């Protein structure tokens, strides 16, 4: 490769250090601030090194960044993209036989290394902007390190970022050498502008944009959390911007042409306002920008393993992301970064954005682990290990789909799913569709679900499929081409001429999200038990059954983003293996009774039911337990004796620990099958439950060898010197005895429980049962503050004894006899 003059950027100063280090080691960490030039200069520099005989792979987190990085490097070489420097991504690639530097998206690299573990012909892997911590980047690095250790000691691995936890990543890479590049290309004036608590983010950003256009030169880049906020901000600015200002949105669902419009230089005499999501944080230079306005918010996906649903959540940015955003202002000249929060709030921001591996669907990850031959992810070098619960849920889904066997190894069907380069659910849908002669339709539907913006924004996926089939534009053409390749890979059968619907295909991807309308128009319950709703004005709101492909929102009621209508016949035909028919008992909250029915169900959905005679025996008892789980322990008729027993046992658990059982609500509800169900035989309603059965059940939770110790360690009553019995309370952190002080006269030791280990908290009262003192040391009370209590009480209760020496006086619960 010929030598070319390189721009003088901050990273230029450390390039010789990198070259020297990689001449003697195969792992390196580069920490360089935004604007330092690492994305473009490092690959070009390493390509000239003597050890670099093959290709260099540069990983970028986003397609926009990959295209921009390739274009910038190619321009420095005076070439077109696709010669020495090219790129490869899901819907587009510009690679030739002459390509030596390939800029690839992180997901593409993960498939490259899984399909070719030796990484034949590759000399170096550069992980750019690693701080973003996508699952594909984490997985790709773990696989690259594994390949390097086992097969390719000559492979160089470089991790680069502007805001990187250098110590952690260096440790992960076996104390890899760290090279630091200091200083930005241009200085940045950091300013703060607090946003009012009630002010909408689009109003705050719009106001800041208009203000800065009046006082500063150059273009403006404003960061907003998502597409909706960008659209609303654009509406506010559209009529207020000066004539020389171009308004340009920038987010992932835009076409390549519109994205390029946002980042290319403006015509002479013009400047622009770019409204962007986090897509503009890293790796790209937006020409002419010298002012950044940061809303301080970002939208992150949060996965719920129990429902298989990923929802988007708006959260505050991390300090690392805020630094990245500010760095956009100093790329081409001195800049200004305006943060829309109080300066004191910066310290409270999280240090880094949470890694995706901790909050995402791990089904594809689990499938790739099995393909790599790894059962335990701890066998690979991950900066953060995947959550065991989420990984277990993912593997359970894959086993249900037939993609993994009982040992979590790939099945033949699992290999077919993985070969399609789609999320497992959608890959299974395409394969099933291919078997029915609908491979192309299924593949197009899968592309719609993975590529935002194609086919329009209609919630109804049948409508989006129809629009996608005729949609114009380079991106739509590329997507249809990808769908054809996926359909061919699925082993397409002869196309079926019979009509089909998107819902029929989606049944194979989302059987757990089949939804049945319940009550009001537009309200549904899914087979996974979660609720969902769609606006009453939507056509789909009248459908009896839906398959929901995408939704957002918390807890029981999600908002449907994409779905398709299906019929009962579709469900029974396509999901016959998952439909269950039988008799079941259930608890009816309205009446508090257990009922029985004959039922046909899909998961939590009852497709059809008919009443049966009321159940008896164990079925009825189990139905009552379901009722308690639904209503809580407060629905049970605990008597005063039963409550005291529960408190005594719970107290011993808190103070002495196991094997004394816990008595809190959560533990008792979890153990209903052990202590409740066996003692409710013959009862069919909450009203018929007797407190004695609850006492009997609670006693069985105490290990047999400890039952005789309960009365000794936690007695129900205290026997006063007067012969009176007083109840002891165990509902707090210490046992409490409330007693009139005269009944303790003559007692020289403090009362205790738990074999003398725990003193009672004495609440001493007057003859009128009003509190006068609390103590944990009765002898100390007699010798100390009793004198003051006696002086006060004698005047108030003259008919009662108040001896000077209560420790040696006779106890009593009566007043003094007349005449004494």
Task: Say yes or no: do domains 10-180 and 188-357 share a fold.
Answer: yes
Whole-number Å distance between alpha carbons of 109 and 114: 8
Give all strands of the β-sheet with 593-602 in edge-to-edge order.
580-588, 593-602, 605-612
What is the pLDDT, as a whole number, of residue 186?
79
Cα radius of gyration rounded to whole Å, the chain: 35
Q: Where are the domains of the chain?
A: 10-180, 188-357, 420-446+455-578, 633-713, 717-808
What is the pLDDT, as a whole number, of residue 261?
83
pLDDT grade for 100, boundaries at 50, 70 and 90: very high
Determine contact, residues 148/127, Cβ cutoff 8 Å: no
> For residue 407, with 0-12 CB atoms within 10 Å meaning exposed, 13-18 middle and 19 or more buried, which class applies?
exposed
Whole-number Å distance between alpha carbons of 85 and 99: 5
Provide, for the chain, the percentages of residues in helix, strand and coil under a 3-state DSSP scheme, each rounded to the nearest 5.
40, 20, 40
* Topology (CATH) of 188-357: Rossmann fold (3.40.50)
End-to-end CA distance of the chain: 118
Count CB atoms within 10 A of the CB of residue 131: 26
Q: What is the mean pLDDT of residues 341-357?
A: 89
Structure confidence by residue, pLDDT tens digits, 131-170: 888 999 999 999 999 999 999 999 999 999 876 677 788 8
Three-state secondary structure call for residue 292: strand
- Pick from 296, 225, 280: which is nearest to 248 by CA? 280
Whole-number Å distance between alpha carbons of 60 and 68: 10
Count CB atoms within 10 A of the CB of residue 534: 26
Q: What is the pTM of this model?
A: 0.73
Average pLDDT over the chain, rounded to whole? 89
Q: What is the CATH number of domain 10-180?
A: 3.40.50.300
Burial 5-32 (b: 16+ CB within 10 A, else e): eeeebbbeebbeebeebbeeebbbbbbb
Contacts of 333 (CB under 8 A, 6+ apart): 186, 218, 290
What is the pLDDT, as a whole number, of residue 656?
87
Structure confidence by residue, pLDDT tens digits, 448-484: 998 888 888 899 999 999 999 999 888 889 889 989 9
Cα 184-185-190 angle, rounded to 5 deg = 55
Whole-number Å distance between alpha carbons of 49 and 42: 11
DSSP calls for 365-398: HHHHHHHHT-S-GGGS--SSPPPHHHHHHHHHHH
pLDDT higher at 312 or 556: 312
Structure confidence by residue, pLDDT tens digits, 761-803: 999 999 888 999 999 999 999 988 899 889 888 888 888 899 9
Whole-number Å distance between alpha carbons of 481 and 696: 70
Specify which of 38-47, 418-427, 498-507, 793-802 reaches the highest per-range mean pLDDT. 38-47
Contacts of 276 (CB under 8 A, 6+ apart): 221, 222, 223, 224, 230, 249, 250, 251, 262
Q: What is the mean pLDDT of residues 660-667?
A: 92
Which tokens go with 141?
Answer: 């690095």
Q: Evaluate if residue 555 carries a pLDDT over 60.
A: no
Q: Evaluate if residue 313 carries a pLDDT over 90.
A: no
Residue showing tokens 């999600």: 558
pLDDT grade for 496, boundaries at 50, 70 and 90: low
Whole-number Å distance between alpha carbons of 306 and 675: 27
pLDDT grade for 302, boundaries at 50, 70 and 90: confident
Structure confidence by residue, pLDDT tens digits, 204-260: 999 999 999 999 998 999 999 988 899 999 999 988 898 899 999 998 878 778 888
DSSP class of residue 615 equals P
Residue showing tokens 């738990």: 754
- Give the range among 57-61, 521-525, 556-560, 587-591 with minimum mean pLDDT: 556-560
DSSP calls for 533-589: E--TTSGGGG-SEEEEEEEE-STTEEEEEEEEEE-HHHHHHHSGGG-EEEEEEEEET
Three-state secondary structure call for residue 752: strand
What is the pLDDT, as a whole number, of residue 143?
96
Determine contact, residues 542/520, Cβ cutoff 8 Å: no
What is the pLDDT, as a whole number, of residue 51?
95
What is the pLDDT, as a whole number, of residue 147?
95
What is the pLDDT, as a whole number, of residue 92?
84
Q: Evaluate if residue 184 carries a pLDDT over 70.
A: no
Q: Evaluate if residue 288 carries a pLDDT over 90.
A: no
What is the pLDDT, as a whole number, of residue 185?
62
DSSP calls for 386-452: PPHHHHHHHHHHHHHHTSB-TTSPBPHHHHHHHHTTS-HHHHHHHHHHHHTT-HHHHHHHHHHHHST
């Amino acid at each position: 490769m010929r030598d070319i003059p390189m721009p003088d950027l901050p990273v230029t100063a450390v390039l010789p250090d990198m070259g020297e280090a990689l001449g003697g080691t195969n792992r390196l960490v580069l920490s360089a601030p935004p604007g330092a030039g690492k994305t473009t200069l490092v690959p070009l520099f390493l390509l000239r090194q003597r050890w670099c005989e093959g290709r260099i792979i540069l990983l970028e987190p986003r397609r926009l960044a990959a295209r921009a990085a390739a274009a910038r490097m190619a321009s420095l070489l005076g070439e077109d993209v696709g010669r020495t420097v090219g790129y490869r991504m899901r819907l587009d690639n510009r690679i030739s036989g002459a390509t030596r530097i390939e800029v690839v998206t992180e997901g593409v690299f993960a498939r490259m290394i899984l399909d070719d573990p030796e990484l034949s012909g590759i000399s170096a892997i550069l992980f750019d902007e690693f701080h973003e911590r996508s699952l594909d980047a984490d997985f790709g690095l773990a696989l690259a390190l594994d390949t390097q250790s086992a097969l390719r000691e000559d492979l160089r691995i470089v991790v680069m970022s502007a805001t990187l936890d250098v110590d952690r990543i260096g440790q992960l890479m076996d104390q890899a050498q760290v090279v630091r590049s200091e200083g930005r290309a241009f200085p940045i004036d950091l300013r703060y502008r607090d946003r009012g608590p009630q002010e909408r983010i689009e109003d705050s950003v719009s106001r800041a944009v208009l203000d800065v256009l009046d006082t500063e030169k150059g273009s403006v880049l404003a960061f907003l959390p998502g597409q909706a906020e960008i659209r609303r901000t654009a509406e506010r600015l559209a009529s207020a911007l000066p004539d020389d200002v171009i308004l340009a949105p920038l987010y992932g669902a835009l076409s390549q042409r519109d994205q390029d419009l946002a980042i290319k230089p403006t015509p002479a005499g013009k400047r622009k306002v770019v409204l962007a999501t986090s897509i503009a944080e890293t790796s790209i230079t937006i020409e002419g920008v010298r002012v950044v306005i940061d809303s301080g918010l970002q939208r992150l996906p949060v996965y719920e393993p129990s429902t298989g649903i990923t929802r988007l959540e708006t959260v505050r940015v991390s300090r690392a992301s805020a630094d990245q955003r500010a760095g956009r202002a100093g790329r081409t000249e001195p800049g200004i970064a305006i943060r829309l929060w109080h300066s004191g709030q910066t310290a409270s921001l999280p240090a880094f954005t949470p890694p995706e591996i901790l909050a995402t669907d791990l089904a594809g990850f689990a499938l790739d682990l099995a393909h790599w031959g790894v059962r335990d992810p701890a066998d690979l070098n991950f900066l953060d290990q995947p959550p065991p619960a989420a990984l277990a849920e993912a593997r359970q889904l894959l086993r249900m789909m037939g993609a993994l066997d009982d040992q979590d190894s790939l099945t033949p069907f699992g290999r077919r799913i993985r070969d399609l380069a789609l999320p497992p659910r959608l890959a299974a849908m395409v394969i099933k569709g291919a078997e029915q002669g609908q491979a192309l339709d299924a593949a197009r539907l899968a592309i719609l679900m993975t590529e935002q913006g194609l086919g329009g924004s209609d919630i109804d996926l049948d409508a989006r499929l129809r629009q996608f089939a005729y949609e114009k534009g380079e991106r739509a053409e590329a997507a249809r081409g990808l769908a054809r390749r996926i359909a061919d890979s699925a082993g397409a059968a002869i196309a079926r001429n019979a009509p089909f619907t998107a819902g029929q295909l989606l049944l194979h991807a989302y059987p757990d999200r089949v939804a049945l309308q319940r009550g009001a128009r537009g309200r549904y319950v899914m087979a996974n038990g979660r609720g969902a709703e769609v606006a009453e004005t939507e056509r789909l709101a009248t459908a009896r059954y839906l398959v929901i492909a995408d939704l957002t929102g918390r807890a029981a009621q999600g908002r449907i983003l994409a779905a398709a209508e299906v019929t009962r016949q579709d469900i029974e035909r396509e999901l016959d293996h998952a439909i269950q028919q039988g008799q079941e008992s259930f608890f009816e909250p309205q009446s508090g009774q257990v009922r029985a029915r004959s039922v046909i169900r899909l998961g939590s959905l009852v497709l059809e039911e008919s009443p049966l005679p009321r159940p008896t025996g164990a079925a009825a008892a189990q139905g009552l337990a379901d009722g308690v789980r639904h209503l809580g322990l407060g629905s049970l008729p605990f008597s005063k004796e039963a409550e005291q027993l529960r408190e005594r046992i719970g107290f011993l658990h808190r103070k002495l620990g196991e094997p004394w059982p816990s008595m809190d609500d959560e533990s008792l509800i979890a153990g209903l099958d052990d202590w409740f169900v066996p003692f409710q035989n013959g009862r069919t309603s909450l009203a018929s439950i007797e407190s004695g059965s609850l006492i009997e059940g609670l006693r069985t939770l105490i290990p047999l060898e400890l039952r005789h110790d309960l009365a000794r360690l936690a007695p129900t009553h205290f026997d006063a010197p007067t012969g009176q019995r007083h109840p002891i309370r165990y509902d707090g952190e210490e046992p409490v005895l409330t007693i009139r002080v005269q009944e303790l006269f003559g007692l020289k030791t403090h009362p205790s429980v738990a074999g003398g280990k725990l003193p009672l908290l004495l609440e001493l009262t007057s003859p009128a049962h009003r509190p006068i003192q609390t103590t944990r040391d009765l002898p100390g009370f007699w010798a100390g503050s009793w004198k003051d209590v006696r002086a006060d009480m004698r005047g108030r209760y003259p008919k009662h004894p108040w001896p000077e020496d209560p420790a040696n006086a006779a106890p009593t619960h009566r007043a003094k006899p007349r005449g004494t």
